[in-house]
Amino acid sequence: MKRIGVFTSGGDAPGMNACIRAVVRGACYHGIEVFGIRRGYSGMIAGDVYKMESHSVSNIVQRGGTILKSARSKEFMTPEGRRKAYDNLQSLGIEGLIAIGGNGTFTGAMIFGNEYGIPTVGAPGTIDNDLYGTDYTIGFDTAVNTALDAIDRIRDTASSHDRIFFIEVMGRDSGYIAIQSGIAGGAELVMVPEVLTPISQVVDTLKQGWSRSKSSSIIIVAEGDEEGSAQEVADKIKVQVDENADIRVTTLGHTQRGGTPSAYDRILASRLGLGALEGLIAGQKNVMAGIINNELVYTPFEDTIRLPKPINEDLLRMVKILSV
Ligand code: F6P
């Protein structure tokens, strides 16, 4: 393999730049030409591609976001869009791809690989940590720490004013950020999409706290929770508990997607970027590089897309025990 392309796609995640850097520097080391594709599949279709050198990735290991930019391309979901992308790659002589992203990214890569045979190896980049085939995804650790920083600050003011706070964290289909930031932030309860927490349980938790003279409480709600957004949960609670209860809602939103990547994410991204590249060189295709029990492993896209990554429900039990 003489020439490859690298791109980031889907929601950005802190550490994606460290991953791009590892791919580019690894390619330079192995004597392979590497092209950066801007805005994911959109750039592949538009031919928005440039040759990257070692210096193209100088001074980015510490930066959040992605220098290659990211997008969710509707056109790539059509056969015509993928045809254009293939023609562009062909004309540039690109023989393999490194895709940095999440489920949607790998679904696109799998379909494209099956249609045109271009080998692709993925590196898992998403703050949600919802990908089967790796213990952690790039950006998750930073997002948890960003959420935790906000939770700690909110706890100060919650305690000063004897308030109940509902804090919404990201995780459309996944409770990983909610669980980790909730445990580390000493939350009274964590609500996640994977497990139904009925409103009655939230009410009970609050009442039990009051009976033990707790004056403030923090409830973490993952954005995809079945009972609704943090605001909706708070509205339901308001009518069921003491109407004088002082309730506030904070949605952390996209603050969790940006910021300086943690040391953990930079190291993980470097290992996964180089692992993806060396896998591609060694003949891997249509797989995602992941790290399980500290070992580099490759999992078929089909499995990363299809198989769920269950949360550890025992951690939810722990939240309950530790908040008595
Ligand atoms: O990609 C992860 C994620 O952060 C989800 O948790 C969230 O629902 C989604 O991205 C929001 O993405 P966007 O605002 O880019 O559509």
Nearest CA to 262 out of 149, 142, 154, 181 is that of: 142
What is the whole-number distance in angstroms between the Cα of residue 171 and the centre of ligand 1? Answer: 7
Amino acid in position 30: H
pLDDT of residue 296: 98
The span from the CA of 257 to the CA of 13, in Å, is: 6
The Å distance, Cα 303 to ligand 1 centre, comes to: 22
- The per-residue pLDDT for 324 is 86
128 included as an active-site residue: yes
Choice between 99 and 240, residue whose per-residue pLDDT is larger = 99
pLDDT of residue 18: 99
Which sign, positive or negative, has the C-alpha torsion 208, 209, 213, 216?
negative
**Closest C-alpha to ligand 1, atom 13:** 11
Mean pLDDT of 208-235: 95
Mean pLDDT of 208-215: 90
Note the CATH number of domain 3-139+261-306.
3.40.50.450
Residue 44 contacts residue 294 (beta carbons within 8 Å): no
pLDDT of residue 243 exceeding 80: no
Q: Per-residue pLDDT for 3 more than 90?
A: yes
Sheet arrangement for strand 164-169: 189-191, 217-222, 164-169, 247-251
- The type of residue at 58 is S
Query: How many Cβ atoms from other residues are within 10 Å of residue 274's Cβ?
Result: 22
pLDDT digits (tens, 9 = 90+) for 111-135: 999 999 999 999 999 999 999 999 9
pLDDT of residue 55: 98
Cα–ligand 1 centroid distance for 105 (angstroms): 13
Is the pLDDT at 244 greater than 90? The verdict is no
**Does 3-139+261-306 match 143-257 in CATH topology?**
yes
Q: What is the mean pLDDT of residues 225-236?
A: 96
- C-alpha 254, offset from chain centre: 12
Q: What is the mean pLDDT of the chain?
A: 97
Atom of ligand 1 nearest to the CA of 11: 1
If you measure from the C-alpha of residue 92 to the centroid of ligand 1, how many angstroms do you get, rounded to a whole number? 32
Question: How high is the pLDDT of residue 242?
Answer: 78
Q: Is the dihedral of CA 150, 155, 157, 158 positive or negative?
A: positive
* pLDDT: which is higher, 141 or 240: 141
- Spot the catalytic one: 12, 48, 87, 128: 128
Q: How far is CA 324 from CA 106, 155, 282, in A?
A: 42, 17, 53
Report the nearest atom of ligand 1 relative to the CA of 177: 6
Long-range own/partner contacts, residues 249-253 (CB < 8 A, 24 or more apart)? 249/165, 249/166, 249/167, 249/168, 250/150, 250/154, 250/165, 250/166, 250/167, 250/168, 251/167, 251/168, 252/146, 252/147, 252/150, 252/167, 252/168, 252/169, 252/170, 253/168, 253/170
Residue 110 has pLDDT above 80, yes or no: yes
The residues lining ligand 1, judged by C-beta closer than 6 Å to any ligand atom, are 10-11, 102, 126-128, 170-172, 223, 257
- For the stretch 69-93, pLDDT in tens is 999 999 999 999 999 999 999 999 9
Minimum CA distance residue for ligand 1 atom 10: 11
**Which residue's CA is minimally distant from atom 7 of ligand 1?**
172
**Predicted confidence (pLDDT) at residue 241 exceeds the cutoff of 90:** no
**Domain map of the chain by residue range?**
3-139+261-306, 143-257
Question: What does CATH list as the number for 143-257?
Answer: 3.40.50.460
Structure confidence at residue 96 as a pLDDT band (50, 70, 90): very high
The closest-lying atom of ligand 1 relative to the alpha carbon of residue 256 is 4
- pLDDT of 7 reads 98
Query: Is residue 277 scored above 90 in pLDDT?
Result: yes
